[in-house]
Structure 1
Amino acid sequence: MNEEKKRILEMVEAGLISASEGLTLLEALDKEPAQQARKERKDHFFDELVSFGQKLSGSWEKQSDQSTGSSSQPKDKLFQFVQSAVQKLKDFEFPLGKTVEFSHTFQENDFSPQRIKAETASGSFTIKPWQGSGVKAECYVKMYGADNEDEARESFIKNSVFYAREDKLSFSVGLKLMKVDTVLYVPEAAVKDISVKLFNGSFNMRDLDVQNLEVKTANGKIEIKGSKVGEFEGETGNGQIYFIDCEGRKVEASSFNGAVHVVGSVGYTEIKSFNGNVLCDLKSDAAHTVKAQAVTGNIEVYVPDHMAMKGILRTNLGSLQLPESGMKKVIEKEEMVQKLVRFESEKEALGQVVIEAETKTGSVSVKTTAFHENHNDKESEPPSIFEGE
């Protein structure tokens, strides 16, 4: 049976059959698995996922360094690593016996947190402002293997933490075999620190004022819109990162497999994607530094037309594009393995942006845009070239 499973996985890897077809074949082989084997599979899944999350922040630099010398082998290994992790996440969604669904609300009245820390294994996490005087977490739970709703709810409450003390709110779900989609309502007053760690789920936040925001997920999209964020750090293994119509001093965002978009008034921007396009659209003269890096994707940087800029663009296989006019100094260098452009604009202005952008197989373009002071009057969307990523 092991040889048959190996053959099915090789067919999926080679693209001969889809992942869903492979799951169907594997299910047929394991139609009557032993109870102990199923238990081991459940236990090992979470441990492997934790390991993946721990590798998330340390793997990027190592892969980037290796790709300079021999890009194909590290890239293939990374794609296999991400694909394997995502496949495990999909397996986790596969029905494991009886499923019970219910909702539960945690609430703490007359409490305004300055620090929020949240951790969940599976499920989305959303933060919204509200007019209430306290905090409230609405949880939509799907639990596997429970006999009835009362038993499932009791187990969920017993293994969850919703703890408010002094100025800190802690929220976590300790059970492995459940999916919990959470909507956290907090007062509109500014929050000092928010830290969210997810393994299989997306993060969403709108219209909040936060000094420091850290979000990490192994599989899921990260989206922040219409907010003021002093410093933002976001990482995802498989998913997009959107930082749209926001203000911030510093933004650092990286995705292994997904697009990364930063649109707004940001001072320092550092964005990376291994397999995905990168976009930085500066909306004010507060910007001073942009560092963008990709391996297989394109990079686009938009700068207000009244600002001065200088920098360096690199690519191995793609093209490099600058504004047609307004550049007083352009040095082009094309070697066998890399194209390079150093540039500086003609105009002298109080605001200047330093741009460093590099991609291996994609293209890099820098463009100027008309500056509008009231750019937040309506929600801006990424250019159509990035739609669907």
Structure 2
Amino acid sequence: MNGVPRMNEEKKRILEMVEAGLITASEALTLLEALEKEPGQNVRKERRDNFFDELVNLGQKLSGSGQKQSGESSGSAHQPKDKLFQFVQSTVQKLKDFDFPLGKTVEFSHVFQESEFSPQRIKAETASGNFTIQPWQENGVKAECHVKMYGADNEDEAREAFIKNSVFYAREDKFSFSVGLKLMKVDTILYVPEAAVNDISVKLFNGSFSMRDMDVQTLEVKTANGKIEVKKSKVAEFEGETGNGQIYFIDCEGKKVEASSFNGAVHVVGSVGYTDIKSFNGNVLCDLKSDTAHTVKAQAVTGHIEIYVPEHLAMKGVLRTNLGSLQLPETGMKRVTEKEEVVQKLVRFESEKEALEQVTIEAETKTGSVSIKTTALHKNSSNEDIEKPSIFEGE
């Protein structure tokens, strides 16, 4: 029921872009096809706040009227993604310009700390700067901030403005941290107790996020410009979105992972049950490390998709591409359906063997290739025994 009105809203936004002269009618049709989302697969998708649409709108505002004129003069050979890339690149350039404004720059460090406090809910928001979460053995929370402020006359003035416009709140089981000034870059390392945390929500505008060795029930990270990196952690449910940057969910355990990047690679490596990963302009990698995996959904537009599955697991699914190739393991697979048409190649497959554990795979890319490979992974095997995927460090 909720899928229909949501789809109508997406179509309305694209039509508004046509009316504004940002894209042509033919480009709008291609954009609808490329960015169409499956309706109503889970509740968390329904409550996402149209992150990429907000990024596109921001790019329009920052790029100004000249962007519209260039859009009107561009040829039909350009894909609609080129227009969207222009918006993103304009946004990123404006953000980079923030690092070198005219006027005096003051740098200093500041520490916020609350002793005898173990948070269950963490919420952080910053306009500019990297944010890192790191566990420690102390019973309390500490935020180490390295601040670069533009336009301040001296350090005392800059520190006073920073403290006045910052929030460091620790009460009961909730912790909040935010910095409101835009002409201020704040790189933050947040130290929290090693005990498990129920919920972490981080929203950044211009900055990267990193976390490792944590135990979290729900982790949500969104950034307009920056990398998202989660390593060696237990995260029951992870949702990550970035407009410009890579997403790495490496050597982690989780029940559900949803990650999408507009311009960057998306890699998920570890013991994950349900995986849904997307990249508009970047490669997508999913390397399953245990029998807990049951569903993999991977989608790209210009990038390649690689999926690694333990060889003792059975699998079935469907692979699609418009211009690339489709590759299955050389042995143990049977092709149920295979189509190679002018506009799309499609393969439906399933394992010849039967097994208690089975993985369902859906993978689709527009211009890239899709490949599924098996790994000699067994229970309690070490990562050193696994051959590294070929695009593990690639874009």
Class of the TM-score when normalised by the shorter of the 2 chains: 0.7 to 0.9
Q: Deviations over 1:42-69 (max 9, x none)?
A: xxxxxxxxxxx975244799xxxxxxxx
- 8 A Cα contact 1:160 1:174, kept in partner: yes
Report the residue type matching 1:56 in the other structure: F
How do 1:1-389 and structure 2 match up within 5 A?
56-58=51-53, 72-375=78-381, 383-389=389-395
Rounded Cα–Cα distance in structure 2 between residues aligned with 1:125 and 1:89: 17
Cα RMSD, aligned residues only: 2.1
Could you tell me how far 1:74 is from its partner in structure 2? 1.9
Inter-CA distance 274–381: structure 2 relative to 1 (3 Å threshold): farther
Inter-CA distance 133–151: structure 2 relative to 1 (3 Å threshold): same
- 8 A Cα contact 2:261 2:280, kept in partner: yes
Q: Residue 325 of structure 1: SS of its match in structure 2?
A: coil
Report the residue type matching 1:111 in the other structure: F
Q: Deviations over 1:149-194 (max 9, x none)?
A: 1110111001100000110000000111000000000000000000
Could you tell me how far 1:375 is from its partner in structure 2? 5.0
- 8 A Cα contact 2:55 2:224, kept in partner: no
Rounded Cα–Cα distance in structure 2 between residues aligned with 1:381 and 1:96: 50
Report the residue type matching 1:347 in the other structure: K
Rounded Cα–Cα distance in structure 2 between residues aligned with 1:370 and 1:349: 16
Q: Deviations over 1:98-153 (max 9, x none)?
A: 00000000000000000000000000000000000100000000000001111101
- 8 A Cα contact 2:376 2:386, kept in partner: no
Inter-CA distance 214–102: structure 2 relative to 1 (3 Å threshold): same
Could you tell me how far 1:330 is from its partner in structure 2? 3.5
TM-score by length of 1: 0.81
Report the residue type matching 1:208 in the other structure: M
Inter-CA distance 259–54: structure 2 relative to 1 (3 Å threshold): same
Rounded Cα–Cα distance in structure 2 between residues aligned with 1:164 and 1:368: 47
Rounded Cα–Cα distance in structure 1 between residues aligned with 2:179 and 2:309: 43
Could you tell me how far 1:81 is from its partner in structure 2? 1.2
Report the residue type matching 1:193 in the other structure: D
Could you tell me how far 1:76 is from its partner in structure 2? 1.3
Rounded Cα–Cα distance in structure 1 between residues aligned with 2:86 and 2:386: 35
Inter-CA distance 329–59: structure 2 relative to 1 (3 Å threshold): farther
- 8 A Cα contact 1:115 1:169, kept in partner: yes
Rounded Cα–Cα distance in structure 2 between residues aligned with 1:379 and 1:93: 44
Rounded Cα–Cα distance in structure 2 between residues aligned with 1:229 and 1:375: 21
What is residue 16 of structure 1 aligned with on the other side? none
Rounded Cα–Cα distance in structure 2 between residues aligned with 1:269 and 1:293: 11
Q: Residue 391 of structure 2: SS of its match in structure 1?
A: helix
TM-score by length of 2: 0.80
- 8 A Cα contact 1:244 1:262, kept in partner: yes
Unpaired segments ≥5 residues, structure 1: 1-52, 62-69
Rounded Cα–Cα distance in structure 1 between residues aligned with 2:383 and 2:176: 34
Rounded Cα–Cα distance in structure 1 between residues aligned with 2:381 and 2:141: 31
Rounded Cα–Cα distance in structure 2 between residues aligned with 1:307 and 1:374: 15
Q: Residue 385 of structure 1: SS of its match in structure 2?
A: coil
Rounded Cα–Cα distance in structure 1 between residues aligned with 2:55 and 2:341: 26
Aligned pair count reads 329
Rounded Cα–Cα distance in structure 2 between residues aligned with 1:59 and 1:335: 36
Q: Deviations over 1:265-320 (max 9, x none)?
A: 00000000000000000000100000000000000000000000000000000000
- 8 A Cα contact 2:285 2:391, kept in partner: no
Report the residue type matching 1:241 in the other structure: I
Inter-CA distance 367–176: structure 2 relative to 1 (3 Å threshold): same
Could you tell me how far 1:385 is from its partner in structure 2? 3.0
Q: Deviations over 1:4-55 (max 9, x none)?
A: xxxxxxxxxxxxxxxxxxxxxxxxxxxxxxxxxxxxxxxxxxxxxxxxx975
- 8 A Cα contact 1:245 1:380, kept in partner: no
Could you tell me how far 1:92 is from its partner in structure 2? 1.0
Rounded Cα–Cα distance in structure 2 between residues aligned with 1:304 and 1:54: 35
Rounded Cα–Cα distance in structure 2 between residues aligned with 1:379 and 1:161: 46
Rounded Cα–Cα distance in structure 2 between residues aligned with 1:228 and 1:351: 22
Q: Deviations over 1:186-220 (max 9, x none)?
A: 00000000000000000000000000000000000
- 8 A Cα contact 2:267 2:392, kept in partner: no
Q: Residue 116 of structure 1: SS of its match in structure 2?
A: strand
